[in-house]
Structure 1
Amino acid sequence: MAPVLRTERLVLRPWREQDRDGLWRMQSNPATMEFLMPVPDRAASDAVAERAEAHFTRHGFGLWVVEAPGVTDFAGYAGLVHVPYDEHFTPAVEIGWRFDPAFWGHGYATEAARAALAFGFDTLGLAEIVAITVPANRRSRAVMERLGMARDEEGDFDLPIIPVGHPLRRQVLYRLRRPSPPPPAR
């Protein structure tokens, strides 16, 4: 069972069958998918939820549904996943998020991502977490920077799961290392 994470305003929780409606609504919105490969139909959207659930089963963490109690049961998702391809920075765990545009501009992505980072560093003991996006995705890059992530200026790469020549193939890489514990008191 996936752990539940709570923040001041949000609940990051396991997937439920009814979340698939919100996921499809979000992923069929052109604004959501501006910097992502399109999800062609409901079956492909449902497969995203199935992969998220399978990642939790295999690894004990993944992409949580983000709920804003009193506002919505499905604002989007956020969490951590193993990078599923070989690249110069892999093996690695990536932080990611996707939110319905109706919930942009409220700080939900940053708040949810902070909870996921804390889980990754404090519970999983990860040494580093990465994030990727296309260079033009200023909103996601701003979240990465608010999280304290730094762009790896030499880390830009072509995402191997996107076709050669596609405008979304080029990606920028951000990294965040686990904070060092404070020195012991004397």
Structure 2
Amino acid sequence: MADYLFKSKRLGFRNWKESDKPKMGMINSDPKVMEYFPKIPTQQETNQHIDRMRTQFSENGYCYFAVDKLENGEFIGFIGIAEQTFESDFTPCVDIGWRLARTEWGQGFATEGAKRCLEYAFNEIGLRNIKSICPEINDKSESVMKKIGMKKTKSFYHPLLSEYKELQKCVLYEINNNI
């Protein structure tokens, strides 16, 4: 059994392992999973992303966490919080995000996991504000943002997506720690 940093009812959250890299590469290679991203990342790009998350975890105590289903220990993707530093009027910020294997969609895992990550961010790390960003056309992610209590702050043109007309207009949601 894995050593989890924290758990929700059905999910375990942990730092990344080398053995996650090929599994995350498979998730990232699914065109439906990556529908609202500019391109499907290579395995090398996936590995680099995981290495960045490990570094963020060692520096900050958080990242987009590797997520397993507790019932069987199966790795299903990531849910968590990570630093965003692209050029905008609201960065640097801490962003909440998720990416799960398509076979796990429609079961409430993203919402359940994101709620638990907010609890961790606010109660255990002491963060004051979390943001979330997605292209305006990504209704599924925007729905999760609403379900976890986030409020829409604005729409904006993402500077890193300027070459992708269908993706460049994004929504920004946020939630504050009111404790």
TM-score of the superposed pair, with normalisation by structure 2: 0.92
Is contact 2:28–2:41 with CA below 8 Å preserved after alignment? no
Task: Give the TM-score normalised by structure 1.
Answer: 0.89
| Partner Cα distance (1:36, 1:102) in 2 | 19
**Given residue 77 of structure 1, which amino acid in structure 2 is its aligned partner?**
F
Matched pairs, number: 177
Does structure 1 residue 12 correspond to structure 2 residue 13? yes
Q: Which runs of 5+ in 1 are unaligned?
A: 182-186
**Does residue 1:89 correspond to 2:64, yes or no?**
no
Q: For 1:5 and 1:24, how far apart are their aligned partners in 2?
A: 24
- 1:9 to partner: Cα distance: 0.7
1: CA distance between counterparts of 2:147 and 2:169?
A: 22
Gaps of 5+ in 2: none
Note if contact 1:39-1:45 (Cα within 8 Å) is conserved in structure 2. no
Deviations 1:29-61 (A, max 9, x none): 001000123234211111111111111122111
Partner of 1:170: 169
Shift of 1:167: 2.2
CA distance in 1, matches of 2:87, 2:4: 28
Paired with 2:85 and 2:167, the residues of 1 have a C-alpha distance of: 17
Q: Distance in 1 between matches of 2:50 and 2:42?
A: 13
Counting only pairs closer than 5 Å after superposition, residues 1-186 of structure 1 correspond to structure 2 as 4-152=5-153, 155-179=154-178, 181=179
Q: Secondary structure at the match of 1:58?
A: helix
* In 2: Cα distance, 1:19 partner to 1:114 partner: 23
Task: Please tell me the root mean square deviation across aligned C-alpha atoms, in Å.
Answer: 1.7
Please give the alpha-carbon distance, in whole angstroms, between the structure 2 residues aligned to 1:60 and 1:88. 25
Give the letter aligned to residue 174 of structure 1. Answer: Y
Q: Percent identity?
A: 29
Moved more, 83-92 or 113-122: 83-92
TM-aligned CA deviation for residue 3 of structure 1: 6.8
CA distance, structure 1, for counterparts of residue 165 and residue 75 of structure 2: 31
Q: Which amino acid aligns with 1:9?
A: R
Once the two structures are superposed, what CA deviation does each residue of 1:102-134 show, in whole Å capped at 9, x if it has no partner?
Answer: 000111101111111011111222221100001
Aligned to 1:184: none
Distance 2:46 2:130 in 1: 26
Whether contact under 8 Å (1:66, 1:78) holds in the other structure is yes
SS at match of 2:23: helix
